[in-house]
């Protein structure tokens, strides 16, 4: 089962004709993801050509609007590569079109835009992942986003992270230890976004195919602290963690818009302490993430 995406997921890619959209959609199709439509305004009627897992030719129709794409192809999930200043609107378009899951890869969306998106999502059943994230992958079934598919291996461990490449690092370690992944989700590096740690952990907790979870956080905000409280009260599977940025100086934005220690709050130290108190084993070094989860089994 895994969570959020599987072999039956039908994807529409917004921004498919841009360079990032093109490159990564081809990789996702080659992985075996069911990309059924693309959407770029004014490019409707074109065909996006790619090759599936065994080199089989795939022709994806491109539409002007997500509404039309959903109507004509029954797409249920959107992946967004639209540039930053138009991306919030793209998210709202996908929600309006009836997508049940929207995965926004785009980095650099203005915070006020995301605050408005969250407001618009109140009362909606659509799930948002991201923005500023690598996407979601259920290994062997469906890859939506920019992660390198070949490092993943199907299995029983869930992975959730605020960082893209740090997730790949963890996945690489888990795969090397023979610990395949049920689903890997990048929740993104922005201060205001979609699904948070708790939202994802809830799904992993209820997923019969997930046996344990690896979670990677970083400085800034209090998402990890909130997750720790939730984990202590609800989680019935082992969770291992790592927090990036123990060496980050205060007040500086460390790449991610959300990775900033403000007014003394959001330090790695506080997060590590909160998680530890909740029974999460926190890896002392990023090289030991996989081993740390393994030690809890």
Of 67-75, 206-214, 229-237, 259-267, which part binds another protein (CB under 8 A)?
Answer: 259-267
Residue 288 beta carbon to another protein: minimum distance, rounded to whole angstroms = 8
Q: Is 256 among the catalytic positions?
A: yes
Is 197 near another protein (CB under 8 A)?
no
Is 133 near another protein (CB under 8 A)?
no
Number of residues counted as binding another protein (CB under 8 A): 62
The upper half-sphere exposure of residue 86, i.e. CA atoms within 13 Å in the direction of its Cβ, equals 8
How far, in Å, are 165, 230, 262, 265 from residue 130 at the CA level?
15, 21, 22, 23
62 contact partners, CB below 8 Å, separation of at least 6? 16, 17, 37, 38, 39, 40, 43, 44, 45, 46, 47, 48
- List 40, 78, 138, 167, residue binding another protein (CB under 8 A): 167
Beta-strand relationship, 101-104 and 127-129: parallel
Return d(Cα 192, Cα 209) in angstroms, integer. Answer: 30
Of 56-64, 158-166, 177-185, 202-210, which part binds another protein (CB under 8 A)?
Answer: 158-166
Is 295 near another protein (CB under 8 A)?
no
- List 47, 124, 165, 295, residue binding another protein (CB under 8 A): 165
Residue 14 beta carbon to another protein: minimum distance, rounded to whole angstroms = 17
Return d(Cα 289, Cα 241) in angstroms, integer. Answer: 7
Name which of 32 and 44 has its Cβ closer to another protein: 32
Is 189 near another protein (CB under 8 A)?
yes
Is 153 near another protein (CB under 8 A)?
no
| SS3 track for 61-129 | EEECCHHHHHHHHCCCEEEECCCHHHHHHHHHHHHHCCCCEEEECCCCCCHHHHHHHHHHHCCCCCEEE
- Cβ–Cβ < 8 Å for 188, 194: yes
Residues 40-69 vs another protein: string with x where CB under 8 A?
------------------------------
- List 102, 216, 228, 282, residue binding another protein (CB under 8 A): 216
Is 218 near another protein (CB under 8 A)?
yes
Return d(Cα 271, Cα 286) in angstroms, integer. Answer: 15
Q: How is 241-259 classified by DSSP, letter by letter?
A: EEEE-TTPPTT---SSTT-
Token pair 């009260």 in the structure block, residue: 233
Is 123 near another protein (CB under 8 A)?
no
- List 50, 198, 246, 273, residue binding another protein (CB under 8 A): 246
Token pair 């090397």 in the structure block, residue: 176
Is 285 near another protein (CB under 8 A)?
yes
Give the binding site for another protein (CB under 8 A).
20, 23-24, 84-85, 108-112, 114-116, 118-119, 134, 146-148, 151, 161-169, 172, 189, 191-192, 216, 218-219, 221-223, 226, 242, 244-249, 252-259, 263-264, 284-288
As annotated, the active-site residues are 256
């Amino acid at each position: 089962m895994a969570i959020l995406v599987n072999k039956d997921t039908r994807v529409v890619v917004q921004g498919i004709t841009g360079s990032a959209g093109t490159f990564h959609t081809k990789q996702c199709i080659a992985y075996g993801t069911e990309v059924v439509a693309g959407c770029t305004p004014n490019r409707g009627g074109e065909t996006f050509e790619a090759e599936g897992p065994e080199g089989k030719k795939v022709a994806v129709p491109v539409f002007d609007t997500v509404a039309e794409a959903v109507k004509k192809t029954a797409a249920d999930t959107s992946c967004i590569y639209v540039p930053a200043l138009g991306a919030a609107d793209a998210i709202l378009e996908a929600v309006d079109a009836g997508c049940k899951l929207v995965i926004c890869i785009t980095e650099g969306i203005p915070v006020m835009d995301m605050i408005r998106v969250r407001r618009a999502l109140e009362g909606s059943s659509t799930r948002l992942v991201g923005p500023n994230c690598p996407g979601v992958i259920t290994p062997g079934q469906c890859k939506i986003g920019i992660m390198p598919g070949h490092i993943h291996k199907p299995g029983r461990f869930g992975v959730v992270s605020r960082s893209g490449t740090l997730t790949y690092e963890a996945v690489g370690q888990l795969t090397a230890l023979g610990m395949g992944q049920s689903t890997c989700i990048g929740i993104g590096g922005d201060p205001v976004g979609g699904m948070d740690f708790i939202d994802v952990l809830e799904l992993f907790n209820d997923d019969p195919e997930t046996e344990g979870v690896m979670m990677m956080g970083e400085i800034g905000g209090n998402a990890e602290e909130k997750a720790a409280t939730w984990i202590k009260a609800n989680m019935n599977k082992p969770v291992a963690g790592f927090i990036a940025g123990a060496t980050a100086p205060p007040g500086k934005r460390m790449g991610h818009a959300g990775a900033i220690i403000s007014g003394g709050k959001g330090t790695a130290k506080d997060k590590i302490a909160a998680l530890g108190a909740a029974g999460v084993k926190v890896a002392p070094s990023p090289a030991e993430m996989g081993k740390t989860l393994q030690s809890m089994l």
